[in-house]
Every structure is written in structure tokens, then in C-alpha cells.
Chains A and B, each alone.
Chain A
């Protein structure tokens, strides 16, 4: 962000204030103000905890463009038919009605950190004392040559849930008999490390039912991936002969796609496919960049309170944050949001601040009733969020254990979404 632009925004803010007298300013009775951008696992949790625990002492505004939010977690299960899209959709009414959060459905288009204001696409300007950015991911342009968001209907990413998930599912269901599904997996780091591989499993599950001679081509630029032994064991057990993985040794770091021709070029070898799920390389949601808190693709934060290393009054949560050892997951964002909420309340109202603790668990489904999980606990050090302890499901576990793990994931889904929206 340039100085000129900041000045321009500041003028814009003053103009907006004089013309439309934004209600946020008018309604403020000297209470400290928190603006949260992004209503997902990080932002909704942070807004809810700050509003709930400050009992009205802090004015909380949540900016989220979508009126209906679809969780990315469990969207792979939707593709396989284990859940409906409605079951992974959530709205913000309770956050407004029960906790008094000012929910604004608009795009944040700029942040002026000197004036401490956020500009919205609709023209409003929101002043803040503390700003929390939890915008999730955006895709790195040109990461997969030939692909751009303009081509996302031909080759869906389905890595932001909702219409993209619906589209990918419809394409899988419409595959010709014996057709081929391809996925171009992303390089590290990216949202939900087991996500692409759970998706491969869920696509295999649905094809096994509807189109058993179909094949799956996984083009993966990484040497190894999350829960690899568990997934590979499961693929062999449930979908033997169906899934082919092409790794970096065979050119998966040099991939281009042609959405019109529906081809994938792997280091010169052109493959014609029927469905192509491109999950490009990722970076922090754009507003983090516009706020000037990113360094490269991600926004570095202090582990103790998730504050930006560029600005103590800006906090960054979840996928966008560069925090250390935690994976980019909804569980992690939810965990970070609570640490951040406590720190923000402490700074604004003097409430007690306890030492930061973080947790993550990621469940994945390989086939019906075949669930696995990986998890860890973390602590804040001066350098980063550092892993303390962890566990992972074992290969060869019995069916009862795997079923229980799946049922536990369903319970967790109910738990975390209640913790965000209820």
C-alpha cells in the first residue's frame, strides 16, 4: 500500500462520513471497536468470543461478503453423497441476534492502518481499535499455467466451498463410463493438508458406485503428503487399481492445463481428461495484502496473540497467517481465534489474559465409516507457534475404530460450527 493511496482512502473516509453518516460511527458510545474481516472458522469464532465474553463492552463488526457460509471441511463428503450442501451451510443471524455483533455483508476493499479504518465496497468506512483479518486463502496467479479463476467453471478448484463444490460434484456425476478424473494438487503450504487426498478418496467412492471403470489421475508436485500411509493403504483396500498418482519424479512439478481442450500436460505428456480439479498454489486472502501485513504470500504473526508482525493492532488468523507449526485448517483457525479474542479483550477492557494454548485435529474420510485423524497441541514461543505433542491414526486399525473416528468427526463438526455460529 502506498502513501498516496492511504491519503486517498482517508479523504474517501471523510467524504463517506459527511455524506452518508455511517451508522457504525453514529452508534458508538465510546466503546472500543473491533472489526473482523472474514466470517469463517477464524473470524466468526473471534467475533463471537469477543462479543460473548466482553458482554457488550466491545463493539464488534463482522464483515463477510456471503450471507450463507459453506464450510470447506465436510465439502468433500458432500461430493461423495455423505452429506447435503445444506448441512454444511451456515448463516450469521445468531451472531447478530444473540451477541449483538454488527454483521455487514460486504467486501472489505481497503485498510488504512494509519487512520485505523476499513473501507467496504459499498462505500462504508469502519473505524477500528483492533482489526482482525481472517480472509482465508486466495490463489497464486499463474501457479498452474493455463488455469485462472476465469476457467474455474471448466476446471473447478472447489477449494472454497459452495457453488464450486456443487459444480465439481455435478461434473463427476456426468463423467462418461470409464472416464478419467484428474486432480492437480497444490504445493505446500496450502489450506487443509489432507484435503486433496480426502477428495480423491471421496471421488473414488462415488465413482466406484456409479462408474466403476472410471480412473483417477492425481498429479502432485509434492514428494509426500499428509496421512500418506493411511490414504495409500485405504486406496489399495477400497479402490484398488483406480487411482494413479504422478509425483515430482515424473514431472508433476511441470504441469500446465488447457481448460478448452480438457487436457493436462505433465512435463510434455498430454493427458485428455473428463473432469479436471485444479487446486492451485495459495496465498493469504487479498485483504491481508491490501492491509500491508503480508511478507511474500502469507502474513507473519506473533504466536502469543496472533498479532501481525507489521502492526500490533492488526491480528491475522487461520489460513492467511504465517504462524509456525500449525497446519492451515478450520480447527487451527478456531483455536487461534480464541487466543486472539482473549488478547484483544485484554488489551481493550483489561480482562485477564492467560497463556496461549493451541490445538488442532484433522479428521479425514477414506471410505464409508473409514475415518482417520491426525492432531497436535501447540504453544506460543518467541519465534512461532511450536508443536508440543501429537498423534496420528495407525495403519491396520480395525473397522470399529475407524467407524468411531468417523462418528467423532461428525460430532466435531457439530461442535465447531456451534462454537462459531450458535
Chain B
């Protein structure tokens, strides 16, 4: 949660700079311009259809991978089954770094790092959701929240020997040979993907209760150790 603690500092900086953009409220007009990055794959608005990605009408409040007729990745389907609902926090995290929330998503997008840009984009997306009564108005979309894992945490060199011991808890369910029947494979994963995924569970952005529990008691060093171990596991 270090990233969240950074928020007041960011706010202070913005306030000091006099950038009082309605307390960071999402600006749908600015979001419309930012949507240019999305529209190559996602249609939105009247008559929108699925293209490379699903159309984004009625996105808020929808369960991940629940839009009928679109062929989602297995990873996105699993996230939906696990209970991922598109709301402010989850969408914010997904747009910031798609793989933090859905490891093998087919959405090939580097993410938007600026919290204000994301707030703007979501304000725009929100205007196409059918039932805005279910969407909290100003409050949630007013704040940009940074979910990015602190670079200092990403830079921790994990101890693979410790990771090997810790991994014995993982392989009760996740098979060491990489099989993925019912439970996904976690072997040969890029270290950073592993770390951001575990932090997303620990922060309860990813919904799975077992994984939230498992990640919830791992320290930053332990997550790094596991990532270091699993990246080379055949």
C-alpha cells in the first residue's frame, strides 16, 4: 500500500502547482480525447459493436468477461468467475496496468500511468453506462488512485532458496509441472508480472478469496522470493 501512501504527496504537489481541476474530478471531455488510445479495438456509444475488444457500453457494474458473444481470453474468463466486477477501483487498476489485474489478458496495452488521465478516461466511459444510479457520482471518480507497485518493491532481489520453500505452499494447488486444470499455472512467469499480480491480490483488487488470503500474509521480500523461484521452474 506504499503507492497509496504516496497519494497525499501527489495531491499536495498538484495543489501547490495551482492545478485545482475540480479536486481531480474526472473530466469526460478530456477522457474523450484519451479514448483515442482505445478506439482501435473498442467501440463505444450508440450502435457500438464488438471488434478486437468488446464494446464498452454499460461497462460499469458488469462482471468481467460477462458480455455475451465476445470470445474472452481464458485469463479474463477466470477473473470473471472469480468475481471481478468492473467498477472504479478495478477498472482504474486494469487501465493502469492490465496484467496486474488479469495476468494473461489479450488486451495488449501498456497502461496509463497518470491517475488524472485515468480518472478522465473513466468519466468518459462512465457516461456510456446505462444505469448511472449504480455508479457513485463525484466521489469515486473524483480521486485518482495509484495502484502501481513501488519501483523499490519491484527492484527487490528475491532469494530463490527461500522462494523454493515458500513455493511448497503454492504447489498444493498450482501444479509444479505447469498443468492448469481448474487452477492456473504459475510457472515460468516473468518476475514483474508475478509480483504485480500478488500485490493486486494482497490489495484485494483481484477477487479470489484463497489468493487474497495467501498473498495477504506475504511480505514484499517473500513475494520477490517466490517470483525469483517460479520464473525458472520448468
Chain B residues within 8 Å of chain A by Cβ, number: 31
- B14 close to chain A: CB less than 8 A: no
Tell me the dominant secondary structure on chain B's binding face: helix
Tell me the dominant secondary structure on chain A's binding face: helix
Partner among B82, B161, B166, B217 whose Cβ is within 8 Å of the Cβ of A352: B161
B182 touches A407 (CB 8 A): yes
A223 to chain B: which residues have CB within 8 Å? none
Interface residues of B in 166-214 (CB under 8 A from A): 166, 168-169, 171-177, 179-183, 209-210, 212-214
A359-B214, A407-B182, A408-B183 given as contacts; is B81 within 8 A of A400 (CB)? yes
Which of A361, A389, A411, A422 counts the most chain B CB atoms within 10 A?
A411
- A357 close to chain B: CB less than 8 A: yes
- B45 close to chain A: CB less than 8 A: no
Chain A residues within 8 Å of chain B by Cβ, number: 36
When chains A and B are docked, how far (Å) is the Cα of A335 from the Cα of B173? 11
Binding stretch for chain B, among A249-257, A290-298, A373-381: A373-381
A419 touches B210 (CB 8 A): no
- B162 close to chain A: CB less than 8 A: yes
Partner among B80, B172, B179 whose Cβ is within 8 Å of the Cβ of A359: B172
Partner among B174, B176, B179, B210 whose Cβ is within 8 Å of the Cβ of A361: B210
Partner among A342, A389, A410, A414 whose Cβ is within 8 Å of the Cβ of B175: A414
- A11 close to chain B: CB less than 8 A: no
When chains A and B are docked, how far (Å) is the Cα of A218 from the Cα of B47? 58
Partner among B78, B82, B183 whose Cβ is within 8 Å of the Cβ of A415: B183
A401-B83, A407-B182 given as contacts; is B176 within 8 A of A418 (CB)? yes
A391 touches B209 (CB 8 A): yes
- B165 close to chain A: CB less than 8 A: yes
A411 touches B210 (CB 8 A): no
- B132 close to chain A: CB less than 8 A: no
When chains A and B are docked, how far (Å) is the Cα of A407 from the Cα of B172? 15
Chain B residue nearest to A390 (CB atoms) is B213
B214 to chain A: which residues have CB within 8 Å? 359, 377
* Distance in Å: Cβ of B63 to nearest Cβ of chain A: 8
B213 touches A376 (CB 8 A): yes
A400 to chain B: which residues have CB within 8 Å? 80-81
Partner among A354, A388, A410 whose Cβ is within 8 Å of the Cβ of B181: A410
B83 to chain A: which residues have CB within 8 Å? 401
When chains A and B are docked, how far (Å) is the Cα of A412 from the Cα of B170? 10
B81 touches A419 (CB 8 A): no
What mask results when residues 151 to 191 of chain A are scored 1 for a CB within 8 Å of chain B, else 0?
A: 00000000000000000000000000000000000000000
* Distance in Å: Cβ of B203 to nearest Cβ of chain A: 15
B217 touches A389 (CB 8 A): yes
Partner among A354, A359, A390 whose Cβ is within 8 Å of the Cβ of B162: A354
Chain A residue nearest to B165 (CB atoms) is A354
When chains A and B are docked, how far (Å) is the Cα of A412 from the Cα of B184? 10
- A1 close to chain B: CB less than 8 A: no
A419 touches B213 (CB 8 A): no
* Distance in Å: Cβ of A55 to nearest Cβ of chain B: 12
Interface residues of B in 202-231 (CB under 8 A from A): 209-210, 212-214, 216-217
A342 touches B182 (CB 8 A): no
B182 touches A414 (CB 8 A): yes
B169 to chain A: which residues have CB within 8 Å? 335, 338, 357, 359
Interface residues of A in 379-422 (CB under 8 A from B): 388-391, 400-401, 403-404, 407-412, 414-416, 418-419, 422
A412 to chain B: which residues have CB within 8 Å? 172-173, 182-183
B172 touches A334 (CB 8 A): yes
Interface residues of A in 93-144 (CB under 8 A from B): none
When chains A and B are docked, how far (Å) is the Cα of A419 from the Cα of B177? 10
* Distance in Å: Cβ of A392 to nearest Cβ of chain B: 9
B166 to chain A: which residues have CB within 8 Å? 354, 357
- A239 close to chain B: CB less than 8 A: no
Partner among A354, A389, A414 whose Cβ is within 8 Å of the Cβ of B179: A414
Partner among A331, A352, A389, A422 whose Cβ is within 8 Å of the Cβ of B172: A331
B172 touches A377 (CB 8 A): no
When chains A and B are docked, how far (Å) is the Cα of A404 from the Cα of B208? 11
Chain A residue nearest to B179 (CB atoms) is A414
Which of A357, A409, A415, A418 counts the most chain B CB atoms within 10 A?
A415
What mask results when residues 344 to 382 of chain A are scored 1 for a CB within 8 Å of chain B, else 0?
A: 000000001010010101000000000001011100000
* Distance in Å: Cβ of A132 to nearest Cβ of chain B: 16
B168 touches A338 (CB 8 A): yes
When chains A and B are docked, how far (Å) is the Cα of A415 from the Cα of B217? 22
Interface residues of B in 122-172 (CB under 8 A from A): 161-162, 164-166, 168-169, 171-172
A375 touches B82 (CB 8 A): no
When chains A and B are docked, how far (Å) is the Cα of A390 from the Cα of B209? 9
B174 touches A415 (CB 8 A): yes
* Distance in Å: Cβ of B160 to nearest Cβ of chain A: 12
When chains A and B are docked, how far (Å) is the Cα of A390 from the Cα of B210? 9
* Distance in Å: Cβ of B18 to nearest Cβ of chain A: 45
* Distance in Å: Cβ of A364 to nearest Cβ of chain B: 15
Which of B162, B165, B171, B216 counts the most chain A CB atoms within 10 A?
B165
25 CB < 8 A contacts A-B? A53-B164, A338-B165, A352-B161, A354-B162, A359-B169, A375-B210, A375-B213, A377-B214, A391-B209, A391-B212, A401-B81, A404-B78, A408-B173, A411-B173, A414-B175, A414-B179, A415-B171, A415-B172, A415-B173, A415-B183, A416-B173, A418-B171, A418-B176, A419-B171, A419-B172
Residues of B at under 8 Å CB distance from A? 78, 80-83, 161-162, 164-166, 168-169, 171-177, 179-183, 209-210, 212-214, 216-217
Given contacts A359-B169, A401-B81, 20 further A-B contacts (CB under 8 A): A331-B172, A338-B168, A354-B166, A359-B172, A359-B214, A375-B210, A377-B216, A389-B213, A391-B209, A391-B212, A400-B80, A400-B81, A404-B78, A410-B182, A411-B180, A412-B173, A414-B179, A418-B177, A419-B176, A422-B177
